[in-house]
Amino acid sequence: MTENHFKCGFLIAIFSMSHHLTFSQTESIVESHPGIILERTEARTLHSDIVGQDYELSVSLPNSYYTLDTTYPVLILLDPYRAFSMVKGLTEIYTTTYTLMPEVIIVGIGYGGEGMAARLNWALGRVRDYSPVQNTETEEAYEKLIEEGGIPNIDVESGGAPLFLDFIRDELFPFIESNYRADTNMRILSGYSFGGLFGLYALFHDPDLFNKYFIGSPTIRYSNGITYEFEASYAAAHKDLEADVFISSGALESLTADHMNKMAEKLLSRNYKSMKLETVIFENETHVTCYPAAMSRGLVELFNNDDGE
């Protein structure tokens, strides 16, 4: 529980710093200079009837999108609020400067808003959407920390992963594939921390939805390790798991690393013929610092395996 509180505290620290800024000064700085626009990136809004949420999508198109008449793999990125520019930059390097992976369409699933509202929407949305079952302890911990950060009377919800997975399958992919030249046979899911928890949920509940999974520092211990039950249920009902999976952790987040190794051992013990699993423990990295290293390595590993992709 200590490590979970650390992550929550880190999130609230961001809220607190913003809360104590003079917003008029911040706004004047923004208004005095032009904003930066990411090349070939679009902002779209998609309403989900399934979740009851307006999602703000950040869609990054490949370098060759307007010059080649072809389809592209789609990388679904969770937590784009903190990771979109990083992942876009990595894919640009690995497809333009070098050829370590194919060009991809990146779709970040965000929650909208500006300033403090954006941070709060992101925090509340990810706890709800990425967690597989309702957990009162998690909700109360987040509510307390958010209140300590200066935002009272916030209700935190958890356990929305089943609906969020339905949204991705039944609403998001039809939208993306009808508006962009998406390769329907190559889909990648990228999630870190709670996003990694959701990645494992998707892997064990609808593995055919994605071909490749980046699962960074997953919060496997959530709700007394219920993800292990999902893994066991899947194994009892299936003889194979057709997916390329990259799971990682920082060595300095020892509890997360222990759970990652335990999950990897269980997956390997099933002897799934079609599963490709790569695990990496990054030395001298914490839960906060490991994300860039893991994302960089994960993209290379997922697109450079024995099947020649």
For the chain, which domains are there?
41-113+159-302 (3.40.50.1820)
Q: What are phi and psi of 51, to 5 degrees?
A: -90, -30
Asked if 102 and 94 count as a contact pair (C-beta separation under 8 A), the reply is no
pLDDT at 16: 42
Tokens of 165: 């997975």
d(CA 308, CA 303): 8
Q: Which of 95-99, 128-132, 196-200 has the lowest mean pLDDT?
A: 95-99
Q: In the predicted model, is pLDDT for residue 6 greater than 90?
A: no
Q: In the predicted model, is pLDDT for residue 22 greater than 70?
A: no
Asked if 181 and 112 count as a contact pair (C-beta separation under 8 A), the reply is no
Please report, for residues 78, 164, 216, 277, 299, the alpha-carbon distance to residue 292 in angstroms, rounded to integers and kept in the order given: 14, 25, 10, 20, 11
- pTM, whole model, 2 decimals? 0.89
Q: What are phi and psi of 17, to 5 degrees?
A: -60, -45
Instruction: Find, among 100, 104, 139, 107, the residue nearest to 222 by Cα.
Output: 139
Q: Which segments of 125-181 are extended strands (E)?
A: none
